[in-house]
Amino acid sequence: MLSRLVNFLRACWWPSLDRYAHKGSDASGWQDGLLWYKDNGQHFNGEFSMAVVQANNLLEDQSQIESGSLSTLESGPYGTFVGIYDGHGGPETSRYINDHLFQHLKRFATEQQSMSVDVIKKAYQATEDGFFSLVSKQWPMNPQIAAVGSCCLVGVVCNGTLYIANVGDSRAVLGRLVKANGEVLAIQLSSEHNVAIESVRQEMHSLHPDDSHIVVLKHNVWRVKGLIQISRSIGDVYLKKAEFNREPLYQKFRLRQPFRMPILSSEPSVSMHELQPHDQFLIFASDGLWEHLSNQVAVDIVQNHPRNTSNVALSSSFLITMVVLANEGYKYVLWMDGHGSARRLVKVALQEAAKKREMRYSDLKKIDRGVRRHFHDDITVIVVFLDSNLVSRASSAKGPSLSLRGGGIKLPAKAKAPC
């Protein structure tokens, strides 16, 4: 009975899958219209999966995974670095972070000959300072660059320790096995800086006690000075340096009253976690994912499905199976065709985005980038699986080297493509 079902599904769906040519390679990832993905790869501490879908006319999300040496020293430390950079106002800041943050981290790790919270904080500050210098140079020709910024989520696995650093509202979630019942529990590791959260609003009021309008409810959305939802970022110089909050900056960004101290901060929230053998995987994602999926649903999706077709014993070279996930009100029919975990999470988020707009998923896929932003944000996901045997080895031990950036979608302005 099962074999007949599999053959039926293969016959029905195989032709439709051939319609969309996938461009790329296993090493650099694949492009499928507005979707870029790498379903499976090896990092210093296990395997990983990565996916990006574009909604903005210019992709504002940037991301990277770096594995191997975390310094310029032969002695290490060695480990894995993950970065999710969710830009706003344009792609300039997120691209700058992608080019510079990890290099700064390697420089400070070399100086201290180790990985630490201090190394990560210094790397953030150096990146912020570098982008400020860029804005200063470009201001006379391109003043609007002062209103471009980015969230910045970083994870570093080194010597059995996980470091999580964040500014903005991207999120890192751990999947931890509960031995008592065999379930995998979702544990949020990152602190978010979005004034939709009451504690963040309270923090802003305590930092700016003389400004009763530091946080404003505008069109039913809480915003800092009525302009931006996040309280911490890289960039957004127009809300950190008063000399850039003036003409010729667009009027919509200019404040009526000058400010004496920075309104936004670039100080990351940093935490350390000693990894345990029952820590299964990490999900790093921009808020484009989390506005559609809860932490636990995302963890369940990763846990309940094999990472690739080689782990599925029900087929020969290619298998499509039907899985229904019913959890916390989410009900999807997922056609599992060897999708990596990150790509699967992106597609489920898109299904939910279509559902919220009372439209078919197939119709959502036909919408142009730019216009697509009215339905969902850019979404970036990196899933990092943790092999306890590899995580526990010394940080001086060498492993596979890796340097990969997400995205890279190249489309003509009017292109329409499935994702």
Beta strands in 238-374 (DSSP E): 269-274, 279-285, 321-327, 330-336
Nearest to 347 by CA among 319, 379, 383: 379
∠207-213-215 over CA atoms, to 5°? 70
Sign of CA dihedral 312, 314, 318, 324: negative
The C-alpha atoms of residue 277 and residue 266 are separated, in whole angstroms, by: 34
Contact 292, 349 (CB under 8 A): yes
The C-alpha atoms of residue 240 and residue 264 are separated, in whole angstroms, by: 6
Q: Which residues are within 8 A (CB) of 380 and not within 5 positions of it... i.e. 6 or more apart?
A: 51, 52, 61, 62, 63, 84, 86, 285, 286, 288, 289, 406, 407
> Half-sphere exposure (CA, 13 Å, Cβ side) for 389?
1
Q: What is the pLDDT of residues 310-369, one digit of tens each?
A: 433 333 333 333 334 444 444 444 444 457 999 999 999 999 999 999 999 989 988 989
The C-alpha atoms of residue 298 and residue 152 are separated, in whole angstroms, by: 21
Contact 354, 374 (CB under 8 A): no
Identify how many contiguous H helices and E strands the chain contains and give both numbers: 9, 20
Give the CATH superfamily of 30-191+231-306+313-406: PPM-type phosphatase domain (3.60.40.10)
Collapsing DSSP to helix, strand or coil, 4 comes out as: helix
Q: So where are the chain's domains?
A: 30-191+231-306+313-406, 195-229
Tens-level pLDDT at each residue, the chain (419 residues): 444 544 444 444 333 333 334 465 566 889 888 999 999 998 988 899 999 999 999 999 999 999 999 999 888 899 999 999 999 999 999 999 999 999 999 999 999 999 999 999 999 999 999 999 999 999 999 999 999 999 999 999 999 999 999 999 999 999 999 988 889 999 999 999 999 999 999 999 999 999 999 999 999 999 999 999 999 999 999 999 999 999 999 999 999 988 999 999 999 999 999 999 999 999 999 999 999 999 999 999 999 987 654 433 333 333 333 334 444 444 444 444 457 999 999 999 999 999 999 999 989 988 989 999 999 999 999 999 998 878 766 555 666 688 999 975 454 444 443 44
Separation in Å, CA 65 to CA 100, 383, 405: 13, 10, 7
The C-alpha atoms of residue 234 and residue 111 are separated, in whole angstroms, by: 24
Q: Can you name the residues that pair with 32 across neighbouring β-strands? A: 35
Residue with tokens 């065999």: 182
Q: What is the pLDDT of residues 124-145, one digit of tens each?
A: 999 999 999 999 999 999 999 9
The C-alpha atoms of residue 158 and residue 155 are separated, in whole angstroms, by: 10
Nearest to 349 by CA among 412, 398, 292: 292
What are φ and ψ of residue 52, in 5° steps? -140, 130
Report yes or no on whether pTM surpasses 0.75. yes
Residue with tokens 């590791």: 189
CB atoms within 10 A of CB 160: 17
The C-alpha atoms of residue 75 and residue 114 are separated, in whole angstroms, by: 10
Separation in Å, CA 327 to CA 293, 294, 298, 330: 11, 10, 10, 5
pLDDT at 390: 81
For residue 387 the two structure tokens come to 């092999």
Beta strands in 286-361 (DSSP E): 321-327, 330-336
Instruction: Please classify residue 286 by burial: count the beta carbons closer than 10 Å to its beta carbon, then call 0-12 exposed, 13-18 middle and 19+ buried.
Output: buried
Q: What is the mean pLDDT of the chain?
A: 85
The C-alpha atoms of residue 267 and residue 259 are separated, in whole angstroms, by: 19
Separation in Å, CA 34 to CA 42, 140, 407: 24, 34, 9
Separation in Å, CA 7 to CA 59, 308, 322, 401: 39, 19, 12, 40
Pairing of strands 279-285, 171-177: antiparallel
DSSP secondary structure of 97-132: HHHHHHHHHHHHHHHHTS--HHHHHHHHHHHHHHHH
The C-alpha atoms of residue 300 and residue 49 are separated, in whole angstroms, by: 16
